[in-house]
Amino acid sequence: MPTVHAIPAFSDNYIWALIPDNENRVVIVDPGDAAPVQSFLAARGLDLGAILITHHHPDHTGGIGALTAEYDVPVYGPARERQAIAGLTARLADGDQIDIDWLGCRFDVIDVPGHTIGHIALVGGGMLFSGDTLFHGGCGKLFEGSAGQMRASLERLRALPDDTSIYCGHEYTLKNLQFAAAVEPENADIAARIEQVQALRDRQQPSLPSIIGLEKRVNPFMRWDVPDIRRAARERHGSDLDGPDAVFAVLRQWKDDF
C-alpha cells in the first residue's frame, strides 16, 4: 500500500500525496495549487506520476496546468461535471476503475453528486478520497446538487467498511464538530473527538484521516436516520419532517446558518 501525506494548500485545503513503497513516483490528489506540490516533490527528490481529481472547483484543480507543463502525466477526473476541467486525460464515472500499475492499489470510482453534480469519490486500498463530499464531521455545501442527492451519495460512502480511512479536501473538522455538538449536545463521542482534534490542531497536525466508523458516530450528515438527530431536525424545523431527505435538508440548511 502507498503511504499518504498531507500537503497543506491555501488556508485550509489538503492536497494528498500517495507514495508507493520502492518508488520515486507520487500520485497527487486534488492539486489546487502547483507550488506546494512542487516544493514537496523537490524536498523529497520525488517525481510526479499521476494526478487524480475529485471535482471541478479551482481549489482542487488550479495546479493541473503548471504541474502537467512540467511533468507529462495522466490526469484522471470526473466525466460528468457541468464545468469542463482543463487537462484531464481520462474522464471517469461510477463503476470505472483507476489502475496505476506502479501504485500498489486500485481505485474504484463512485459518483457522489451534491457539492457538484459530477463529483466523484475514489475508493481503494482501504482508503477513501472524498474531496468536498464527506468531511470529517461534516459534508460539502450543496452548490449544484440537492439534499437528496447528497444524502444518497453519503449513504453509499457510509456503506464502506468502518475502518476505511477518509482523506477529504479541507481541514474543517473543528467547526464541523462544533456544529455536530450543537445538534447532539448529549453525544459523548463528539465531545471526546473535539478534544482530540483540538490537541492535534494546537500542534499544527491534520485531523485526518478519519475513518467511516468514527463518522457514523460523530457526523450529523451520516446520521440522518438516528432518532436524536431526527428529533433535533424536527425541532429546528418546527414541524414534522417527511422522510430522510427532508431531515438531511434541514441539517444542511442549519449548518449553512450556523
- Please give the positions annotated as active site: 55, 57, 59-60, 115, 132, 170
- Asked whether position 132 contacts Fe ion by CB under 5 A, the answer is yes
**At closest approach, how far in Å is the CB of 33 from Fe ion?**
12
> Candidates 53-61, 70-78, 105-113, 245-253 — which segment interacts with Fe ion by CB under 5 A?
53-61
Binder of Zn ion out of 132, 144, 171, 215 (CB under 5 A): 132
- Asked whether position 144 contacts Fe ion by CB under 5 A, the answer is no
- Asked whether position 59 contacts Fe ion by CB under 5 A, the answer is yes
For Zn ion, the closer CB: 112 or 194: 112
- Asked whether position 255 contacts Zn ion by CB under 5 A, the answer is no
- Asked whether position 169 contacts Fe ion by CB under 5 A, the answer is yes
Binding to Zn ion in span 40-79, by CB under 5 A: 57
- Asked whether position 171 contacts Fe ion by CB under 5 A, the answer is no
For Zn ion, the closer CB: 131 or 209: 131
- Return the one option of Fe ion, Zn ion, none that residue 77 interacts with (CB less than 5 to 8 A, by type): none
**At closest approach, how far in Å is the CB of 169 from Zn ion?**
7
- Return the one option of Fe ion, Zn ion, none that residue 171 interacts with (CB less than 5 to 8 A, by type): none
- Asked whether position 111 contacts Fe ion by CB under 5 A, the answer is no
**At closest approach, how far in Å is the CB of 115 from Zn ion?**
6
- Asked whether position 36 contacts Fe ion by CB under 5 A, the answer is no
**At closest approach, how far in Å is the CB of 132 from Zn ion?**
4
Backbone angles phi, psi at 151, to 5 degrees: -65, -45
- Asked whether position 119 contacts Zn ion by CB under 5 A, the answer is no
**At closest approach, how far in Å is the CB of 59 from Zn ion?**
6
Can you say how many angstroms the Cα of residue 29 is from the centroid of all Cα atoms in its chain? Answer: 11
* Per-residue H/E/C for the chain: CCEEEEEEECCCEEEEEEECCCCCEEEEECCCCHHHHHHHHHHHCCEEEEEECCCCCHHHHCCHHHHHHHCCCCEEEECCCCCCCCCCCEEECCCCEECCCCCCCCEEEEECCCCCCCCEEEEECCEEEEECCEECCEECCCCCCCHHHHHHHHHHHHCCCCCCEEEECECCHHHHHHHHHHHCCCCHHHHHHHHHHHHHHHCCCCCCCEEHHHHHHHCHHHCCCCHHHHHHHHHHHCCCCCCHHHHHHHHHHHHHHC
Q: Which are the contacts of 133, defined by CB distance < 8 A and separation ≥ 6?
A: 54, 112, 114, 115, 119, 121, 139, 140, 150, 153, 154, 157, 168
**Residues of this chain that bind Fe ion (CB under 5 A):** 59, 132, 169
**Residues of this chain that bind Zn ion (CB under 5 A):** 57, 132
